[in-house]
Amino acid sequence: MSVSPFHAGELAIQQRVGVREQMAGAGSAGVRDYMPDQHRQFFGELPLFFIGALDGAGQPWATMLVNDAGFISTPDARTLRVDGGMLAGDPLQGQLCMGAHIGGLGLVPTTRRRNRVNGVIAAMDGGRMEVAVTQSFGNCPQYIQDRVQTPVPSVPTPQVLRADALSAQDRELIARADTFFIASANLETEAGRGVDVSHRGGRPGFVRIDDERTLTSPEFVGNFFFNTMGNLLAHPRAGLLFIDFERGDMLHVAVEAEIIWEGAQLRAFAGAEQLLRFHVREVVRNVGALPFRWSAPKPAAQVARTGIWEEADRVLEAAALTSAWRPYTVAEVVRESATVQSFYLEPADGMAVAAHVPGQFISLRAPAGGEAAPRIRSYTLSDAPNGRRYRISVKRDGAVSGWLHDHLAPGARVELLGPGGDFVFEQGTRRPAVLLSAGIGITPMIAMLNGLLVNGSRTRHRHAIHFFHGARNRDEHAFSAHLQAMAEGHRNLNVHIRYSGADGEGSDIANWQSSSGRIDIDWLKAQLPFDDYDFYLCGPAAFMQQMYDGLRGLNVADARIRFEAFGPASVRRDAKPAATAATAAIGAGATAAATAALHAGPPVPVQFAQSGMTAMWDGSADSLLALAEAKGVPAESSCRSGQCGACAVGLVAGEVEYTRACAADIAPGQVLLCSAVPAAGSAAVTLAL
């Protein structure tokens, strides 16, 4: 099209989620003011056609037209002809007229193919109407359930039920629905002016019946056009269509819609980007009207990673249990490499998993090495949340990880605490990202990738993602096949693997490379085009420090380097960390507000008894561990490598306060350096270091 196909509402939402610039290019190119030949052929073969239009009062309605294949035709590329198809009792019956805007959607469930066409009614003759096309574009097959339709011999005279609220039968249909259609309109501006009808799909239970007059539904990742939500910004009325595929009913619901951008319910619903809440205005149920029945569905692959409201409600309940140990059952064990196994863990107490953000970790308590007392280790959750179970991926490296590898088979029980942690991807950033890892440090990076890159081709981060990982050899490279599949499906992902102990080989995938050698700062400089990046680092301590120091030497701002360390010590920063949770170092989990409150007051002298050194606590360090490291005092710390509690030391004198809860059970008289700071009002602190 010669002008942007997007109106002000669509542009506003694209701007809010950070995709406006990208959609101005690739997005606009996909919208035409004519129908391509393949769309014209597609429409001509349909026995069903979905439309959205307004009634005389300006209320949008979504409905389905039904007739013999060929009732949709295209005399030319800019004209769509519809010969009948509207069923008796339809809320749009008698409402369509010349000059009215109409949105059309052709959809074939068995192939999951769909194409859209919007326009204005240019002519009407009895049951025939001709639509002058203003917009035509294809849609991807996401969330469409595969169903086979079968004609019924005869259809009785339908019964039309009208009400201003949902009946018990209506609510039952919506509760088991895996599909609905939504009509919305933009009549406020000339650009993009018109009516739209869109498809929504999910697992049965993805639409919640709050009460007889209220529904709530998630919005999953789509094509970033934001046709529906953009319309709702200025014109919040919408029309919903639910189909009873078994009985042939059509349930039309006229609603007032609101967009929910944040909140606990949104965070608890797996896969949801926003929520739409619908307030019912009118209900029309056309009982048994459809001349088709459909087979049981084959669910779309994308819905497996999305939630339902029953799970979301249980996730909300579980959020209150993150500070308590809970039993979990091993549901599945998958070998990821010669040294790494993934364990899928499901709650054994009848509750749900608590929500987490990719990059966070849980703590695990299990017996190990024949010891009487259980040992506690912390492991990164290596997958994006799905609302049903957790995944941890553990490298065999020590007594505890060896015990997990040898004893955790399906059906085994462990106890978990959490999730928690601050090493997460910055929401809303519009800079390209560099995910840089080595060894088992790949686990939070995989979780972040799985959260950002979804459904085989969609991305929540429409800027470049550079994924660099160092492994000893191919046998020890966890998630190799998964990374290659992601690279094949996502053009904004660029992967480069370095093998230190084997020859690197090329790849047939354009955005996947491998080579021999180690990752160092000179090699990294040679791989990255000039740009302003956000860096995410995870790996052994020496690797982390080398990368951090190298990036700072290149004048990368300290606040742009976020990291999680796997090894005996956290990374020493050369600048005070920025006041954001995402930039916290290993073991430092305090929020800026919490630490600010503890930093108030005069400096506190901290004496390290064994080292004979004294340092002043003035709030410039995140924790006593960071203070010790800044002064060169040796202090053990390996929280994220699975040894929560390793930083415990004796408190000789003074008082401390904690900036967050930790999993370790420590002996009386000890403190955890990674999360402790001098207590407010404390005169001095002495540590046995």
Domain boundaries, the chain: 8-311, 322-420, 433-583, 592-687
Q: Does domain 433-583 have CATH number 3.40.50.1000?
A: no
Residues making up the chain, counted from first to last: 689
Q: Please give the Cα distance from 343 to 331 (Å, whole number).
A: 8
Look up the CATH superfamily of 592-687. Beta-grasp domain (3.10.20.30)
* Residue 211: partners with Cβ closer than 8 Å, 6 or more residues away: none
Q: Please give the Cα distance from 199 to 105 (Å, whole number).
A: 8
How many helical (H) and strand (E) elements, i.e. helices and strands, does the chain have? Answer: 15, 38
DSSP-assigned states of every residue in 109-161: TTTTEEEEEEEEEEEEETTEEEEEEEEEEEE--TTPPB--EEE-S--PPPEEE
Residue 533 has pLDDT above 60, yes or no: yes
Average pLDDT over every residue of 306-331:
93
DSSP run (H or E) holding 39: helix 37-44
Higher pLDDT, 257 or 590: 257
Average pLDDT over every residue of 460-485:
93
Which tokens hold the place of 433?
Answer: 């990202």
Average pLDDT over every residue of 574-582:
41
Cis ω for the linkage preceding 419 (within 30 of 0): yes
Which tokens hold the place of 581?
Answer: 């949770």
Q: What confidence score (pLDDT) does residue 638 get?
A: 56
Residue 327 has pLDDT above 90, yes or no: yes
Q: What confidence score (pLDDT) does residue 39 get?
A: 97
Q: What confidence score (pLDDT) does residue 568 get?
A: 43
Beta bridge partners of 201: 179
Q: What is the CATH number of domain 8-311?
A: 2.30.110.10
Q: Please give the Cα distance from 320 to 315 (Å, whole number).
A: 9
Segment of 44-58, 425-439, 579-593 carrying the highest mean pLDDT: 44-58
Higher pLDDT, 565 or 306: 306
Average pLDDT over every residue of 275-295:
96
Residue 642 has pLDDT above 60, yes or no: no
Alpha helices in 163-293 (DSSP H): 168-175, 227-234, 264-268
Average pLDDT over every residue of 120-137:
94
Beta bridge partners of 651: 687
Do 401 and 321 touch, CB atoms closer than 8 A?
Answer: no
Exposure string over 128-156, b if 16+ CB within 10 A, otherwise e:
ebbbebbbbbbbbbbbbbbbebeeeeebe
DSSP run (H or E) holding 524: helix 521-527
Q: How confident is the model at residue 506 (pLDDT cuts 50, 70, 90)?
A: low
Q: What confidence score (pLDDT) does residue 158 get?
A: 78
Q: How confident is the model at residue 641 (pLDDT cuts 50, 70, 90)?
A: very low
Q: What confidence score (pLDDT) does residue 76 get?
A: 97
* Residue 599: partners with Cβ closer than 8 Å, 6 or more residues away: 618, 619, 677
DSSP-assigned states of every residue in 292-361: EEEPPPB--GGGGG---HHHHHHHHHHGGGTTS-EEEEEEEEEE-SSSEEEEEEEESSS--PPP--TT-E
Other Cβ atoms within 10 Å of 597 Cβ, number = 13
Residue 27 has pLDDT above 80, yes or no: no
Q: How confident is the model at residue 297 (pLDDT cuts 50, 70, 90)?
A: very high
Do 230 and 219 touch, CB atoms closer than 8 A?
Answer: no
Q: How confident is the model at residue 658 (pLDDT cuts 50, 70, 90)?
A: confident
Q: How confident is the model at residue 30 (pLDDT cuts 50, 70, 90)?
A: confident
Q: What is the CATH number of domain 322-420?
A: 2.40.30.10
Q: Which of 86-90, 203-207, 236-240 has the lowest mean pLDDT?
A: 86-90
* Residue 587: partners with Cβ closer than 8 Å, 6 or more residues away: 570, 623, 625, 637, 639, 640, 647, 673, 674, 675
Neighbouring C-alpha atoms within 13 Å toward the C-beta of 537? 32
Q: Please give the Cα distance from 16 to 141 (Å, whole number).
A: 25
Q: Please give the Cα distance from 587 to 564 (Å, whole number).
A: 9
* Percent of the chain topping pLDDT 90: 67
Residue 324 buriedness (CB in 10 A; 0-12 / 13-18 / 19+): exposed
Q: What confidence score (pLDDT) does residue 235 get?
A: 95
Higher pLDDT, 77 or 157: 77
Average pLDDT over every residue of 588-597:
39
Predicted confidence (pLDDT) per residue in 72-93, tens digit: 999 999 999 999 999 999 999 9
Q: Per DSSP, which regions of 15-112 are E strands?
A: 48-54, 60-66, 72-76, 79-83, 101-108
Higher pLDDT, 196 or 193: 196
Dihedral sign computed on CA atoms, order 251, 257, 258, 259: positive
Q: Which of 244-258, 322-336, 670-684 has the lowest mean pLDDT?
A: 670-684
Residue 275 has pLDDT above 50, yes or no: yes
* DSSP 3-state of 598: helix
Q: What confidence score (pLDDT) does residue 391 get?
A: 98
* Residue 456: partners with Cβ closer than 8 Å, 6 or more residues away: 301, 302, 489
Average pLDDT over every residue of 285-290:
94
Q: Which of 192-201, 369-378, 605-614 has the lowest mean pLDDT?
A: 369-378
Residue 371 has pLDDT above 60, yes or no: no
Predicted confidence (pLDDT) per residue in 435-450, tens digit: 999 999 999 999 999 9
Q: What confidence score (pLDDT) does residue 634 get?
A: 77
Q: Please give the Cα distance from 487 to 557 (Å, whole number).
A: 29
Q: Please give the Cα distance from 63 to 128 (Å, whole number).
A: 17
Residue 586 has pLDDT above 80, yes or no: no
Q: What confidence score (pLDDT) does residue 579 get?
A: 33
Residue 100 has pLDDT above 90, yes or no: yes
